[in-house]
């Protein structure tokens, strides 16, 4: 610890798909109220709430690892050092870090803060994997770890298993910040106060800030057909920035169809985490970490292959658009 005046840090580390965007949007909207009460919400200048570029993507065979990027990390630390003593920092991509990078990040926090509250929300592994697979239609990070044309729960790799080993992830932060308060919550809306993750976050963080129902922005979901088509484009070598432009222009249709594995497939998937979840329950001081109710899944899964008509029609549309652009350019 440093010898400066006491400083407090609320460190929200995710995980993904647990209301992080809603929490961050709420904190951004309440920035002035927080400042008046001595708290600086450390959003990224120019790109509020998004510190994703602090975590680099390092592709490896079968997936990717996510080390800290020193340049953006340095800018974030400068921002922390130049503002109010008490800081709120939220970045769900911190959940991608391996133990070594957790220690690097934690060491920088320990240099600056005398009191740290680490907050994490965890979602049952099957739900997390399916949600990440869908998010892979929008972000390369999720696609590299959880994605694949064959559908969710299929692309099982060491990177996915590392991420979903929640007990080890929590232990890594606990060991790296032994003096910190560690607040780990199960992301189950039925168990949250008023089914509201923002209200829960305000409660456990101890922030004296009004929760007036704002900040309910959530990431919009896309259907499984669109997600699979995006995976197809990536496999063909198209870069994500071009895919993003096409999706924003609605050149790629946004479907609403859902994909659900069968109950037996989900149970087999969850069997991989029995030991980890038992350790997690002990860390949380409860009998079980997650519900074993899988009734939301059908007996027979709805994991149909990518629709050939959708693929053909969309590719023909994209080709026709490019030909029209070429003709305009030649004129």
- Taking the C-alpha atoms of residue 132 and residue 138, their distance in angstroms, rounded to an integer, is 10
Name 247's bridge partners.
none
**pLDDT in 10s for each residue of the chain, 331 residues:** 445 679 999 999 999 999 999 999 999 999 999 999 999 999 887 776 678 889 999 999 889 999 999 999 999 999 999 989 999 999 999 999 999 999 999 999 999 999 999 999 999 999 999 999 999 999 999 999 999 988 999 989 999 999 999 999 999 999 999 999 999 999 998 889 999 999 999 999 999 998 876 555 456 779 999 999 999 999 999 998 899 999 989 999 999 999 999 999 999 999 999 999 999 999 999 999 999 999 999 999 998 889 999 999 999 999 998 888 777 766 5
Domain ranges within the chain, ordered by starting residue: 8-223+258-300
In whole angstroms, give the CA distance from residue 65 to residue 58.
Answer: 5
Class of the CATH-defined domain 8-223+258-300: alpha beta
Rounded-to-integer distance, Cα 249 and Cα 25, Å = 25
Task: Report pTM.
Answer: 0.92
Q: Quote the CA–CA distance of 3 and 23 in Å, as a whole number.
A: 32
197-205 and 20-29 helices, crossing angle to 10°: 70
DSSP 223-280: -HHHHHHHHHHHHTT--HHHHHHHHHTT-S----------HHHHHHHHGGGHHHHHHH
């Amino acid at each position: 610890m440093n010898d400066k005046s006491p400083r407090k840090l609320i460190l929200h580390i995710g995980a993904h798909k647990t209301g992080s965007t809603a929490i961050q949007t709420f904190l951004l909207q309440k920035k002035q109220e927080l400042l008046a009460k001595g708290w600086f919400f450390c959003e990224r200048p120019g790109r509020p709430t998004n510190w994703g570029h602090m975590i680099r993507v390092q592709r490896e065979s079968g997936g990717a690892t996510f080390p800290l990027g020193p340049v953006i990390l340095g800018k974030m630390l400068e921002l922390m050092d130049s503002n109010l003593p008490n800081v709120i920092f939220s970045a769900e991509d911190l959940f991608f870090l391996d133990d070594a990078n957790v220690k690097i990040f934690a060491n920088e926090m320990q240099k600056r803060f005398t009191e740290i509250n680490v907050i994490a929300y965890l979602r049952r592994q099957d739900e997390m994997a399916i949600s990440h697979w869908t998010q892979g239609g929008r972000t390369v990070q999720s696609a590299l770890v959880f994605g694949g044309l064959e559908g969710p729960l299929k692309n099982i790799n060491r990177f996915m298993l590392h991420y979903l080993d929640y007990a080890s992830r929590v232990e890594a932060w606990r060991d790296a910040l032994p003096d910190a308060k560690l607040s780990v919550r199960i992301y189950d809306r039925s168990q949250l106060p008023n089914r509201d993750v923002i209200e829960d976050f305000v409660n456990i963080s101890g922030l004296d800030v009004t929760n007036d129902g704002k900040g309910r922005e959530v990431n919009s979901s896309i259907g499984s057909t669109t997600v699979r088509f995006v995976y197809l484009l990536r496999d063909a070598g198209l870069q994500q920035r071009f895919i993003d432009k096409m999706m924003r222009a609605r050149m790629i249709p946004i479907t609403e169809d859902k994909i659900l594995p069968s109950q037996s497939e989900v149970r087999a998937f969850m069997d991989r985490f029995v030991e980890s979840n038992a350790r997690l329950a002990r860390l949380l001081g409860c009998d079980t970490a997650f519900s074993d109710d899988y009734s939301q899944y059908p007996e027979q899964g709805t994991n149909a292959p990518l629709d050939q008509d959708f693929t053909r029609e969309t590719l023909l549309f994209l080709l026709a658009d490019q030909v029209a652009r070429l003709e305009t350019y030649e004129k």
